Structures are given as C-alpha cells and as structure tokens.
A and B are shown apart, each in its own frame.
Chain A
Amino acid sequence: MSELALPKVDRSTISNRDKIVNKLKRIIKSENVLDHNDEIKPYETDALSAYKQKPLVVVLPENTQEVSNILKYCNEEKIKIIPRGAGTGLSGGALPLNDAILLGLGKFNKILEIDFDNKCVIAQPGVTNLSITHAVQHKGFYYAPDPSSQLACSIGGNVAENSGGVHSLKYGTTTNNILGVELVLMDGTVCRLGGKTLDQEGYDLLGLICGSEGLLGVITEVTVKILKKPQTVKAALIGFSTIEDGGNCVSEIISTGIVPSGMEIMDKALIVATDNFCKAGYPKDAETLMIVELDGTNSEVDELINKVSDIAKKNNSTSIRTSQNEKERLSFWAGRKAAFPACGAMAPDYYCMDGTIPRGKLSEVLKEIKRLSKKYNLPVANAFHAGDGNLHPLIMFDANNKEELRKTEEFGAEILKYCVKVGGVLTGEHGVGIEKRELMCEMFNDNDIQQQLKIKKSLDTKNLLNPGKVYPILRKCAEEGRVHVRRGEEKFPDLPRF
C-alpha cells in the first residue's frame, strides 16, 4: 500500500496528551474517555482496514451538550477531532490521526420518536440503518436507502457519506430520504436543519451536510422519511452472451420508460466466482448476468416484468427467469450479494473500486477494464449497479508480491480515471475519504476545489474537524483509490458488500 500523506502532526497536542485526557474526563463521564492502548485499538481503522492509525484518545459522549462541549474545547485549544459512526465506511473517512481525538457516536443509539402520522422517524446517529426499518415494518413502512452494510452501518454515518444502495435508482440516496438533522459545528454551536417538513427554505444546508464526510459538523440526530412498502416486488434473472447485449438491454429498459427499483449486472468472472462460492444457480454459459427488480402495484409489476422480458429477448438474451415467489426472488440476489466474499475466496487480496459511469458506457468501460486486466496480468471481476451506473470492479492480487501490489494500484487508478473520462465520477457511494483524495483533481480543477475548501473554512476556521480527508494533500494525482482486503481479513467480514 502506498505511503499515506497525513496532515502535519501537532507535536504539542501529543505532548499534552495527559492534560487533554484529564480535561476530557471533566467534560464527559470519565468512563467514556478511552485512553489505554487496548481500549483504543478497535478504533484504529474503519472498513478501509489497510490504513491504521492510533488516535490520541477516544471519547464516547452521551448527549448533544457533551459533543458541543468537546468540540468547543478542541476548537479553543486547536486540537483535531475525527468523528466516527459504526466504522463501516470503505474510504477511510473515519481513519484516526495520532494527534486527534476520535469522537465515537456509538452511545447515540436510540430511536427517539416514531411518527407514523408525519411518516418519519427521529433517530440518534448511532442507530443502525436496518433497525429503523425494523422499528416501523410492523405497520408496513420502511426506510428506503439500503447500503449493503445496513445491518451494522449507522444512520449518522449514512448522512455523512450520503449512502446509497441497490434501490437508489428509484428511491434515491440518503440525501433524498432525510428531512432534518441536529448538528454540532466545530465551534460548539448546536443547530437544527430541517425538521418534519418537506424541503427547507433558504440555503439547503441539509443538502450540504449530507455527504460532507464529517468535515463540516458532527451529526447528533437525524429525522428520516419512511415509506409504505410496495404491494409487490418481483425480479427477473437474465443472461446474455455478450457485454454489449446486456448494456444495450439496460439502456433500452430505461429509455422505454421503465424505472426498475434495482438493476444489477455481473460479468462472467463474477458469475463463475459466486456460483463456486455459494451455488447461486446462475446460468454458467452467460457472459453477462442481469437482475432486474420491479416493485409497485400488482398489475403494474406484472406488466413491467413482461415488458422487461420482451426487451431482453430483443437484445438476444440467452436465458430469462422471473421470480414466482419471494423465496425465488431472494435466491436471485443471493449470488449477487456474495460477490465480494466470492472474490475474497479466489485470491489472497482484492481491491474494490467505486466509480459511477453513464449507463450507456457500460460495455466500453468493461472492455477497457478487460484490456487493462490483460495489460497488468491481474484478474478482475465486475459487479455493476447498472440502474444508476455505479461500477464495482474487484481486482484480485497478492499483496505479498510487491510488484503485483504496485501494478494493482496503477490498474485501479486507471479504471477510476477512465470512469471520469467517459463522463462519470470517482465515487458513487463509498465516499472519497482518504482513499480517492488525491484523485479529486481528475474531476475538479483548482477553482472547484478551492470553492469547496472555502466552505469548509467558513464552518471550521482552523481545519480541525476530520482534516486530511476528501481534499488532496499531495496536490498531485497520486495513484490511489481502492478498498484493500488482505487475505479475507476484511473489516466486518460478515457484512455483505455489493
């Protein structure tokens, strides 16, 4: 792994550690200040586990006032602070710094209000994504964004990263599904953005905060919109003999006016890998496999699934299966959801990329990845949220082989640069974090980045909140940008990643 550039270490903070710990123990309960090595260890990394840093000290405040007091203290004393939710992020957004306090929000774990009348839930930021749905499903409601880590990831982290999921084509990402937040700024100011109403008048600060990767404030409460579950959900599993046919089918489904709730594509390498891994029963002769999921009212779903089948046939599909019941629908997804661990079983290490491309560029980009795979002599498998153009190539390699590691890094950077070249972006849902930081200049010029930095400075004058993330430190396009999984030792290995 490349050497990671980090913000300049403040030696005086490190030498004042004891004094800082004592002060923190006066601001919050002393048992919520973790300063022993064995207590701190679990916080050394998030799900981008290739990077590890020991934080100065870990604090686990229990209420908004405590968060405010901590931030105010840090701001006055010029101490860096890194907010952290569940630590499931894949881009290193919660990576600690040796001279920074790590602020964990794990004790903010309560659902504060379930308001069926106004169709919303107010939750503390440490509440997991899935538990919101669990809290409302008895009345037929759910929270729409469903990142693959939804069992463990926190709603506060979802807001910080603007998390998506396989259904974001139809239901949007976190930013389209939250109504309000309570936020603490670096100077300790507590503010409420939004509430239980749709939209907000004035500057859309809620929209700015969502996806700001913990650089602008610490979220202490989130109000999310809940939706009524659709009457019916059905899926079709479709095989194609070429990538082009699969890509054309995606484009035609969309241009016909169908908006599926999910539309996934896997390439041959992944079909084989997942079938070996979990016996998903996918057609092995297919070069490209597509899962199309449709939801809505009963007759609408039946009509649309027939239309999708017709479009698939027109685009030379080699097999079509339509789910006849819920069990079969879930079985279609089983292999797709096992894609990441399946790759983990095939090679000592894999890197997961996260670019988004225009849907119509799918076959072009997959061909380029294939070419690069030959050029670097490294196998790659491709999973693709085809509905919204989000591509997850998984490069398989052995990190013990230094040359292979270097080649993998180059390969990954070339893929992301190609995504930008065809009109796409560096990251669709994993965030920039430290991982793609130095690639930001592939997408943005100096003016663009300066404007974003000015916003950061306006709310965090001393650059103390999560410094070193999102924006380039090196001021050059280093070849970084992947999730590195070493010998299957993925952080949260039990979480499905798709």
Chain B
Amino acid sequence: MSVEVRKNSQISQDSDYILKPDNEEKVSQIIKDLYKKNLPTEIIGSNSKSFIGNKLQCAKILDLSKLSGIIEYLPEELYIKVKACTPIANIEEVLKKNNQQLSFEPINFGYISSSKSNKGTAAGCLSCNFSGSRRFKSGSVRDHVLGFRGVNGKGDTIKSGGTVVKNVTGYDLSKLITGSFGTLVALTEITFKVLPTKDSSSTLVIHEDSKEEIAKLFNNIQSSSNEISGSVFVPIEPNNKKYIQNREKIFRFNDLKNEGPFLALRMEGSKKSIDERIRDLTIELDLKNKKKSLLDVHQSLLFWERINNLEIFSNTQNSLVRIVIPPFKCIDLMRYLNSDYKYYIDWCGSLFWIEISDMNEEKLLNIKDYIIRLGGYLTVIKSSENSVPLKDIFTINKTRLHISKKIKESFDPKGIFNPGKMYRSI
C-alpha cells in the first residue's frame, strides 16, 4: 500500500498515525517517545522516491515535510544550509540566481512515476545518493554533503561536519548517512557544497551503432583532458513502435540530425574553450568520418535535463533497475543486454538504467549474479505494479551486511527507522 493510499485510509484517521513535526526539537521528542514504545516508523519527505526500497508496514509515519526552508546561503563560501525537506527545485532556483548549482545533478524521479517533474527534497536526495550525468566528473551526492543535523533512533539530536570543505574533525558521518535510506537518522538540516555554473555548454552527438565502437569511445573520452562533463549512450533497441515514438519525442532537437543510436558528450565552459575542445576531440576521438550533430547551449541544457529526468522511462509500468559497473565492462553488459531491453548508459560507460518488463525473482538473481561477476552492483529502483515483491532489491554481501547491522544498531538500537527498507534484517 503506498503512503498516499495509507494516508487516506481508515487507519490514518487516527491523528497520531502520521506525525508531522515542524521543528527539530519536536522531531527529537517524537522519536524519544517512539523509542520508548518501540514503534517501527516510516520516515517520509515528499514521497517522490517512496517506490524505491522494500515496502514497509510501520506503526507510525514520521512526515518531515514541514522542515522546509533555506537556513543560510553564502554563494562566496560555496555552501547552502537548508532544512531537511526543502524541495530540491527550490534550492536549485535560489542557486540559479547566483549562477551556482548542485553539481552532482540530482536525478528527477518524478517522470517515471507520474510523467511530471518531482525532484523531491534535500533529505530524500541525500538518503538515496543517486547522482546525474556529471557524477563521473564532479562526484556524487555524498561528495557534496558538507554536514548535517538529525535525530538518531533514541531521539538524541546529533550533528556532523560543518560548512567547510576541508574538515577531518571526527568520523565523516555525512557520508555514512548519504545513501542510508532514512535507516540511521531522521534528518533535520543539511549543508550542501555548491559550485558555479559554467558560462556555456554544448553537446556533441556522435551517431554510432557499433557497441564495440561505443565502448572504445567511452574509454577514450575518460582518457581525454578535454574536460567532458557528461557522456551518455542512447541505443535504439528495443525495436517497438511505442518506444521509438517516445524516444523521438524526447530527443527531438533542431540540430539533432539522425534518429538512430547516439553517444552524446557535454562540454561546459566558455564558448571559446568549448569550440577549441570540439576541434581537439574531433582529432583525439577520430571523429572526422563519423556522423555528428552539435547542440547549442539551449538544446544542450534541455537534452541533459531530459536524460536526468529519466524521461526515457516516463510513466513506466515495468520494473526499472540501476546498475553500476567498472566502466571498461560496459561492452560486456551491452552484449548481455543484446537488443532485448530498453536502456541507456550514463557516466561514460559505468551507469546503466534498464527497464525490465517481465521481472521476477529468478530473472533478478540471474542479472545480479552477472553484475557481481563484472564487479558492479544492481539496485531495483521500481518494481512493476503487478509483480510479486522482490526480495533482494539492493546488492550486498554477507560481511558488509554484518558491518551494516552493527552500524545500524549504533544509530538506531531498536531498529525503529524504516525497518527492512534496505535489507530485510536492517
């Protein structure tokens, strides 16, 4: 049952079912009470990513959405401190006015569930640690969290980090919290590192359908000193009409010449520098005889927005998985996927987003085994509405699970925060 459905169901008429504190002190008081009564609790923000992770059945819902607002933004210090559930869209709007950005490019999961934009909240973004196309160049969410405040599973308010980049004072809990899916701390405040937006950007599109050639290009791009900040391959398969129509709609740009598979490269910086880099890359990547398109700044911005909105999978009813592998293994995975799946590759060969229509436990295990053999990991982002709930939607081994359990206990000794959200035993 989704959170929305539960909110409207009979049980939620119990006014205590959903707890909605509006400040940190109240969060702490509520959690102290939950701890005392040993009540499993689901922590939510704006629910933009509630479909990720195992389904929960909790006694209470702790809704932190009232903790919203920018606390401090100092552009010259390159940080923004926000209340935990400040919408990412609001943060980006404020940063844009100062020509700054969250450099990790937050993924917009709104389209895959409802065909419209919903970037969720700062806390949701941090809790999932899913970064967009610029990640392989600029780092992920975890690399941009300078500090946080929050409440642990006993109700104690804790903090870590600060507002400065260079800081080795105590354990780096900001990193540990990032990607923990709300199982360690109820976040109340987050400080993000922000970076300047470059003056301009352009996207060079190479029309290429040979998998081997794509893999070779990815490898050469990573070895280039031409500062490429996005590198994505969008194949044409599977050959079904609906998909092809949708793909054409998403990538309909005045200057995008061809409708076949393509590899797109983003360059950001001054106009002069971009022109220079395109000339360099044409030689460096041996592109002279390849079909190419060049998207100007306006088209380029829109192109990468659509990539990071996951618009290819807009409103999908199927399962969606996210796979990260060592970049040089991308040729193996491309061959494995053959033409059977709708997918695209980001992070210069490292990140695969794949839609799977007939997902079941056996299929998931087979794919996961293969990915582990490649040295990577797999996360089920969304299960198809009709399928039986899958068991192991994250990838973990026995030793790491053992350590993770101990870490969990140190933050949340009674296991009341999002129990089972990541792993059944945590």
- A interface with B by C-beta (< 8 Å): 115-119, 140, 161-162, 164, 168-169, 172-173, 175-176, 185, 189-193, 195-208, 210-212, 216, 228-231, 251-252, 254-259, 296-300, 303, 356-360, 385, 388-390, 423-432, 436, 440, 443-444, 447-452, 454-455, 457-459, 470
Contact = CB atoms under 8 A, between A and B. Distances in A.
B19 interface: no
Contact of B175 (A195, A207, A443): A207
B350 A432 contact: no
Contacts of B140: 198-199
Given A205-B404, A459-B403, 10 more contacts: A195-B326, A201-B379, A203-B404, A208-B173, A228-B224, A251-B76, A252-B76, A297-B273, A455-B173, A458-B410
Contacts of B272: 299, 303
Nearest to B143: A176
4 closest residue pairs by CB, A with B: A207-B175, A257-B196, A117-B328, A196-B326
B223 A228 contact: yes
B222 A358 contact: no
A207 B402 CA distance: 17
B344 to A, nearest CB: 17
A313 B141 CA distance: 37
Interface string B128-158: 0101000110011011000000001000111
B288 interface: no
Given A257-B99, A297-B226, A451 B410 contact: yes
Given A173-B166, A175-B172, A199 B142 contact: yes
A195 B375 contact: yes
Contacts of B222: 119, 228
Q: Most A CB atoms within 10 A — which of B142, B175, B198, B280?
A: B175
Interface in B178-212: 178-180, 184, 195-199
B340 interface: no
B160 interface: yes
Nearest to A453: B410
B75 interface: yes
Nearest to B28: A447
Nearest to B75: A255
A40 B277 CA distance: 56
A425 B169 contact: yes
A451 B399 contact: no
A216 B170 CA distance: 12
B325 A197 contact: yes
A248 to B, nearest CB: 10
B16 interface: no
B156 A258 contact: no
Contacts of A164: 166, 168
Nearest to A357: B164
Contact of A428 (B168, B180, B270, B402): B168
Nearest to A424: B164
B177 to A, nearest CB: 8
Contact of A207 (B77, B172, B184, B276): B172
22 contacts: A140-B225, A197-B375, A199-B131, A199-B140, A202-B394, A202-B400, A202-B422, A203-B184, A204-B180, A206-B175, A296-B273, A297-B227, A298-B276, A356-B167, A358-B164, A389-B164, A424-B162, A425-B164, A432-B169, A443-B162, A452-B160, A458-B407
Q: Most A CB atoms within 10 A — which of B170, B172, B195, B226?
A: B170
A458 B179 contact: no
A201 B395 contact: yes
B388 interface: no
B163 A360 contact: no
Contacts of A385: 166
Contacts of B176: 203-205, 207-208
A300 B273 contact: yes
Contacts of A196: 326, 375
A443 B409 contact: no
B408 to A, nearest CB: 8
B74 interface: yes
A383 to B, nearest CB: 14
B24 to A, nearest CB: 12
Q: Most A CB atoms within 10 A — which of B131, B135, B163, B195?
A: B163
B168 A297 contact: no
B375 A207 contact: no
Contacts of B173: 208, 451-452, 455
Nearest to A390: B166
Size range of the chain B interface in the assembly? 35 or more
Given A205-B400, A299-B276, A451 B167 contact: no
Q: Most A CB atoms within 10 A — which of B172, B222, B351?
A: B172
Given A117-B219, A297-B226, A444 B159 contact: yes
Q: Most B CB atoms within 10 A — which of A190, A192, A211, A429?
A: A211
Contacts of B327: 117-119
A197 to B, nearest CB: 5
B343 interface: no
Given A195-B375, A198-B136, A211-B171, A457 B410 contact: yes
B217 to A, nearest CB: 14
A200 B375 CA distance: 11
B297 interface: no
Contacts of B377: 197, 200-201
Contacts of A231: 225-226
Q: Most B CB atoms within 10 A — which of A189, A199, A454?
A: A199
Nearest to B402: A189
A196 B136 CA distance: 13
B347 interface: yes
Given A208-B175, A296-B227, A360 B196 contact: no
Contact of A208 (B172, B276, B328, B379): B172
A208 B156 CA distance: 20
B396 interface: yes
A199 to B, nearest CB: 5
Contact of A358 (B163, B408, B409): B163
Contact of B169 (A175, A296, A426): A426
Contacts of A192: 399
A429 B168 contact: yes
Contacts of A470: 170
B333 to A, nearest CB: 12
Contacts of B347: 198
Given A191-B400, A207-B176, A448-B160, A359 B270 contact: no
B370 interface: no
A360 B74 CA distance: 10
Contact of B403 (A191, A296, A356, A423): A191
B328 A197 contact: no
Given A197-B324, A208-B175, A259-B196, A451 B152 contact: yes
B260 interface: no
B240 to A, nearest CB: 30
B406 A459 contact: yes
Nearest to B197: A257
Contact of B178 (A173, A207, A426, A451): A207
B376 interface: yes
Contacts of B75: 255
Contacts of A429: 166, 168
Nearest to B411: A451
A455 B158 CA distance: 13
Interface in B97-134: 98-100, 129, 131
Contact of A440 (B169, B172, B411): B169
Contacts of A206: 175
Interface string B262-285: 000000011011001100100000
A443 B375 contact: no
B168 A432 contact: yes
B142 A204 contact: yes
B78 A254 contact: yes
Nearest to A232: B225
A306 to B, nearest CB: 11
A443 B168 CA distance: 12
B413 to A, nearest CB: 9
